[in-house]
């Protein structure tokens, strides 16, 4: 359950996901909008989840099972939790370089105040850092961080990383209705992001079922307002508000493919059906996984989604 996909990414083209965290969700945040659900284990302690050689071998074997049409544009650390909690992240990135595919890391930036974490991320070709707000109270309501994390330290860490990072730096701001989407808050966020000068700042909304029902998408009017504020601040800004498409890579094992993808990436029903078609199988596989309580179906914005289900 390390490599999965590739899946179509709105930022990265075809992205082969690398889940470098164990099956339960381990994270420093428990964001109200997280598509994986609430955090099972809150932590800021780095630890070893996989042996780097085993992780690299798993990615290599996965790549061999893909056809040329699904050779990924990026190998992306997008985890069932926060990828920088992995003590071996830097070594894993270096080992994966042999595949000559750019490497991306999507992080909530909560550990960037640690110099060693910044050094590990320097190895990546593409890094996205989360900046939902710079207001302390709003940050605690939306991101629900582990108790020992301080927002000012995170912002300082992001600034230090941005000042020396040579790869492609991006930010992502999730706009939640009546939380961080007022014009005043958006201006404050844009002001900070303009100072770190990312290649692109992404403005997004929840497009898959969120952890909490009150994590509602900002309105279209508000999204437009935020985009204008970011652009006026001199920031190259893109919106992540649409569906990324139904294409996914397969390995020939529908059971494993579904479990691996849904661990970090809920599958919309039309995407699930397309995957099953490629695997030359049918919904019986999905029904079996539901019966075993390994996945569950949920509805969001009128669409059915399949998400990973864990029992402890």
CATH code of the domain covering residue 32: 3.20.20.70
In this structure, of 138-147, 195-204, 296-305, the range with the lowest mean pLDDT score is 296-305
pLDDT of residue 271: 81
**Confidence grade of residue 124 (pLDDT, cut at 50, 70, 90):** very high
Does residue 71 fall inside a structural domain? yes
pLDDT of 243 over the 70 cut: no
Residues 136 and 274 placed together within one structural domain of the fold: no
| Site of tokens 């999905």 | 286
- Domain range for 290 is 254-308
Does residue 303 fall inside a structural domain? yes
Task: Give CA–CA dist 173/11, Å, rounded.
Answer: 14
Mean pLDDT to the nearest integer, 194-220: 91
Cβ-defined contacts of 23-26 (< 8 Å, 24+): 23/80, 23/263, 23/310, 24/80, 24/310, 24/312, 25/80, 25/81, 25/310, 26/80, 26/81, 26/82, 26/85
Query: Domain tally for the chain?
Result: 2
Task: Give CA–CA dist 256/62, Å, rounded.
Answer: 12
Does residue 301 fall inside a structural domain? yes
Closest CA to 82 of 105, 58, 59, 113: 105
| Buried/exposed code over 244-273 (b: 16+ C-beta within 10 A; e: otherwise) | bebbbbbbeebeebbbbbbbbbbbbbebbe
What value, to the nearest 5°, has the Cα angle with vertex 30 and ends 222 and 275? 80
Does residue 247 fall inside a structural domain? no
Q: What is the mean pLDDT of the chain?
A: 90
For 128-174, the pLDDT digits (tens) are: 999 999 999 999 999 999 999 999 999 999 999 999 999 999 999 99
For 79-109, the pLDDT digits (tens) are: 889 999 999 999 999 999 999 999 999 999 9
Does residue 245 fall inside a structural domain? no
For 251-282, the pLDDT digits (tens) are: 778 877 787 777 776 788 888 888 888 878 88
Tell me which of 225 and 280 has the higher pLDDT. 225
Task: Give CA–CA dist 105/75, Å, rounded.
Answer: 9
pLDDT of residue 304: 84
Residues 225 and 138 placed together within one structural domain of the fold: yes
Residues 71 and 209 placed together within one structural domain of the fold: yes
pLDDT of residue 244: 64
Residues 33 and 113 placed together within one structural domain of the fold: yes
pLDDT of 246 over the 70 cut: no
Give yes or no for a cis peptide into 6 (omega within 30° of 0).
yes
Does residue 63 fall inside a structural domain? yes
Q: Quick one: CA torsion of 70, 72, 73, 76, rounded to 10 degrees? A: 150
Residues 166 and 292 placed together within one structural domain of the fold: no
Residues 142 and 196 placed together within one structural domain of the fold: yes
pLDDT of 44 over the 50 cut: yes
In this structure, of 39-53, 132-146, 241-255, the range with the lowest mean pLDDT score is 241-255
pLDDT of 5 over the 90 cut: no
Q: Which of 192, 217, 240 is the last residue of a domain?
A: 240
Does residue 249 fall inside a structural domain? no
Mean pLDDT to the nearest integer, 15-25: 86
**Confidence grade of residue 57 (pLDDT, cut at 50, 70, 90):** very high
pLDDT of 46 over the 80 cut: yes
Maximum mean pLDDT: which of 40-49, 116-125, 202-211: 116-125
Task: Give CA–CA dist 80/218, Å, rounded.
Answer: 25
pTM for the whole structure: 0.84
Q: Which two tokens stand for residue 109?
A: 């930036």
pLDDT of 312 over the 50 cut: no
pLDDT of residue 23: 67
Residues 156 and 19 placed together within one structural domain of the fold: yes
For 231-240, the pLDDT digits (tens) are: 999 999 998 8
CATH code of the domain covering residue 259: 1.10.10
pLDDT of residue 281: 84
pLDDT of 245 over the 80 cut: no
């Amino acid at each position: 359950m390390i490599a999965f996909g590739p899946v179509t990414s709105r930022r990265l083209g075809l992205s082969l996901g690398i889940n470098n965290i164990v099956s339960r969700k381990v994270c420093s945040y428990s964001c109200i909008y997280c598509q994986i659900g609430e955090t099972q284990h809150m932590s800021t302690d780095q630890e070893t989840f996989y042996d780097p050689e085993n992780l690299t071998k798993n990615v290599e074997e996965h790549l061999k099972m893909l056809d040329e049409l699904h050779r990924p544009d990026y190998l992306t650390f997008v985890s069932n939790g926060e990828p920088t909690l992995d003590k071996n992240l830097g070594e894993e990135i270096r080992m994966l370089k042999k595949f000559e595919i750019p490497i991306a890391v999507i992080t909530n930036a909560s550990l960037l105040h640690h110099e060693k974490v910044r050094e590990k991320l320097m190895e990546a070709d593409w890094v996205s850092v989360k900046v939902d707000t710079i207001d302390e109270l709003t940050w605690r309501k939306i991101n629900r961080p582990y108790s020992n994390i301080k927002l000012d330290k995170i912002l300082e860490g992001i600034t230090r990383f941005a000042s020396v990072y040579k790869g492609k730096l991006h930010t992502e701001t999730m706009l939640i209705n009546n939380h961080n989407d007022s014009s005043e808050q958006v201006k404050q966020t844009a002001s900070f992001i303009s100072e770190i000068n990312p290649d692109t700042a992404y403005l997004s909304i929840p497009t898959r079922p969120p952890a909490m029902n009150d994590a509602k998408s900002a309105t279209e009017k508000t999204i437009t307002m935020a985009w204008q504020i970011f652009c006026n601040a001199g920031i190259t800004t893109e919106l992540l508000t649409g569906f990324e498409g139904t294409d996914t890579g397969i390995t020939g094992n529908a059971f494993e493919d579904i479990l691996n993808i849904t661990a970090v990436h809920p599958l919309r029903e039309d995407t699930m059906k397309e995957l099953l078609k490629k695997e030359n199988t049918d919904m019986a596989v999905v029904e079996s996984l539901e019966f075993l309580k390994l996945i569950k179906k949920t509805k969001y914005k009128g669409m059915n989604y399949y998400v990973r289900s864990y029992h402890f």
